Amino acid sequence: MKKFVIWPNEIDARLSKKYGRQVSKTSAVSTPKLKEIVDAIRYIDAKIIEIDENKLNPRLSGLDEEFKIRGMIKVESRYGKSETLRLIAEKIKEFRKPKKRR
């Protein structure tokens, strides 16, 4: 199992790779919320070690407030960080899809 830190900006489609996005634009989601990320982590069967809602990724210090999403999650996963981020982004997209009514 691998341990690493996940920041919301790493899957934020609004940001460039310069500001920490680590997944492709097509995989990324716009304005990911910390709660969505936590729910997705639990869904992909990874273990959350620590959550700090007030931390801000240092890469975001020069950006406008609207792009600063606070939060940091320490995770233990059987996948590598890139694969875990991609899976989290996919799950968030699934969560956001409107449910079909019959």
pLDDT higher than 90, residue 95: yes
**Rounded-to-integer distance, Cα 48 and Cα 72, Å:** 11
- 86 has pLDDT over 80: yes
> Is the torsion defined by CA of 76, 82, 83, 86 positive or negative?
positive
pLDDT (average), residues 69-98:
95
pLDDT bin (cut points 50, 70, 90) of residue 102 is low
Percentage, residues of the chain above pLDDT 70: 98
pTM: 0.89
Q: How far apart are CA 24 and CA 16, in angstroms?
A: 10
- What's the pLDDT at 90? 97
pLDDT classification of 42: cutoffs 50, 70, 90: very high
Superfamily of domain 2-96 in CATH is: Signal recognition particle, SRP19-like subunit (3.30.56.30)
